[in-house]
């Protein structure tokens, strides 16, 4: 069921406030059970009046129409093929963003990525290829290499952090001058395809969640995102080496802008949200290919 209404809710994520705004706008009273683990920032478990459980998420600054022709459309196209993307049960336009209620899929985010799990993720990524052929109505995924993104991929924090980070930002901007500002292609691009947005159970991947940034483009972009998510404390050396070997085979016109985007995204995010001691790790990783 998809409804579009209007009401008020604070910009800062608070599941109770969002649920109350949904009730005021639609008459649907959801019971908030608690936050979701893993990569779902701004997501909580809720229970419908009929007793079934779901996931509530909040997208500040978003508009329902844009969500339904962009990220939600990407996930829906894949789901129609049997891909484990969650069904959308409710969409509510609030005055400061969009609230989504999605199907609760089985499984939990894996704590450690080994080569068998990587293989399963790679097979899912292959299913993104050409999934959006003929869907020019779905916007292309943007890279923000020369301008700021909407709350992420901000250039100024990286420039201002220090000489090394500023040098990285200059290289990212130079890549942006040499490449288009959006991805080419008709593949489905998740945009945040890392292990914390996967659900696993019984040795298989049961769900891929958090489609907030999905768009049209080149599915190989998601392999770069996956590599940035694999760190020594959450993956085996074999899994990281195997994924690095796959990235080594990508053409420069695909790998370079994708790596520049993720370098900017993670350097900016670490500078603004992590400890200063964490930032060098992301600069080190960025510089391995940039």
Domain match, 25 and 94 both: yes
In the chain, DSSP assigns E strands to 31-35, 43-47, 53-60, 88-94, 97-103, 187-189, 198-201, 204-208, 215-217
Domain match, 225 and 184 both: yes
Let me know if residue 145 belongs to a domain: yes
- H/E element, 270: helix 252-273
Let me know if residue 90 belongs to a domain: yes
Domain stop point among 81, 103, 125: 103
Let me know if residue 3 belongs to a domain: no
Tokens found for residue 65: 């129409």
CATH number of the domain bearing residue 75: 3.30.200.20
pTM: 0.92
Domain match, 205 and 137 both: yes
HSE of 45 in the Cβ direction (CA atoms, 13 Å)? Answer: 13
Q: What is the pLDDT of residue 8?
A: 40
Domain match, 161 and 213 both: yes
Domain match, 56 and 144 both: no
Check if the beta carbon of residue 189 is closer than 8 Å to that of residue 222.
Answer: yes
Domain stop point among 70, 103, 136: 103
Let me know if residue 7 belongs to a domain: no
Residue 11, number of CB atoms within 10 A of its CB: 11
Let me know if residue 230 belongs to a domain: yes
Domain match, 135 and 247 both: yes
Domain match, 87 and 131 both: no
- Quote the radius of gyration of the chain (alpha carbons, Å): 19
Q: What is the pLDDT of residue 159?
A: 98
Let me know if residue 2 belongs to a domain: no
Tokens found for residue 236: 């085996």
Check if the beta carbon of residue 183 is closer than 8 Å to that of residue 143.
Answer: yes
Let me know if residue 129 belongs to a domain: yes
- Written as tens digits, the pLDDT of the chain (290 aa) is 333 333 343 434 689 999 999 999 999 999 999 998 754 457 899 999 999 999 999 888 878 777 777 899 999 999 999 999 999 999 999 988 899 999 999 999 999 999 999 999 999 999 999 999 999 999 999 999 999 999 999 999 999 999 999 999 999 999 999 999 999 999 999 999 999 999 999 989 999 999 989 999 999 999 999 999 999 999 999 999 999 999 999 999 999 999 999 999 999 999 999 999 999 999 999 999 99
Q: Which domain holds residue 22?
A: 15-103
Q: What is the pLDDT of residue 69?
A: 78
CA dist 19 and 53 (Å) reads 14
Domain match, 206 and 280 both: yes
CA dist 178 and 120 (Å) reads 34
Q: What is the pLDDT of residue 227?
A: 98
Burial 238-257 (b: 16+ CB within 10 A, else e): ebbeebeeebeebeeebbbb
Q: What is the pLDDT of residue 63?
A: 81
Domain match, 70 and 122 both: no
Domain match, 42 and 154 both: no
Let me know if residue 62 belongs to a domain: yes
The DSSP letter of residue 276 is G
Domain stop point among 52, 70, 103: 103
Domain match, 258 and 132 both: yes
| Number of domains the chain contains | 2
CATH number of the domain bearing residue 236: 3.90.1200.10
Domain match, 168 and 271 both: yes
Phi-psi region of 261 (alpha: psi -120 to 50; beta: other; left: phi over 0): alpha
């Amino acid at each position: 069921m998809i409804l579009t209404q209007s009401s008020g809710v604070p910009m800062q994520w608070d599941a109770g406030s969002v649920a109350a705004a949904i009730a005021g706008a639609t008459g649907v009273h959801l019971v908030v059970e608690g936050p979701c683990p893993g990569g779902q920032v701004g997501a909580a478990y809720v229970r419908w009046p009929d007793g079934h459980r779901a996931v509530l998420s909040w997208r500040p600054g978003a508009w329902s129409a844009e969500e339904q022709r962009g990220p939600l459309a990407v996930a829906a196209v894949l789901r129609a093929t049997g891909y484990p993307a969650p069904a959308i049960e409710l969409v509510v336009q609030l005055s400061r963003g969009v609230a989504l209620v999605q199907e609760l899929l089985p499984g939990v985010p894996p704590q450690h990525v080994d080569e068998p799990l990587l293989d399963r993720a790679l097979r899912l990524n292959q299913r993104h290829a050409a999934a959006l052929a003929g869907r020019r109505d779905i916007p292309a995924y943007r890279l923000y290499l020369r301008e700021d993104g909407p709350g992420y991929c901000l250039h100024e924090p990286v420039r201002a952090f220090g000489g090394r980070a500023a040098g990285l930002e200059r290289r990212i901007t130079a890549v942006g001058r040499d490449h288009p500002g959006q991805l080419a292609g008709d593949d489905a691009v998740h945009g945040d395809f890392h292990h914390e947005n996967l659900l696993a159970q019984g040795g298989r991947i049961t769900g891929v969640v958090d489609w907030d940034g999905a768009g049209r483009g080149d599915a190989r972009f998601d392999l770069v995102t996956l590599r940035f998510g694999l760190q020594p404390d959450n993956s085996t050396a074999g899994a990281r080496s195997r994924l690095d070997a796959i990235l080594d085979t990508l053409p420069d016109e695909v790998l370079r802008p994708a790596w520049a985007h993720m370098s900017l995204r993670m350097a900016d995010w670490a500078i603004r949200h992590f400890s200063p001691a964490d930032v060098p790790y992301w600069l080190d990783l960025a510089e391995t290919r940039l």
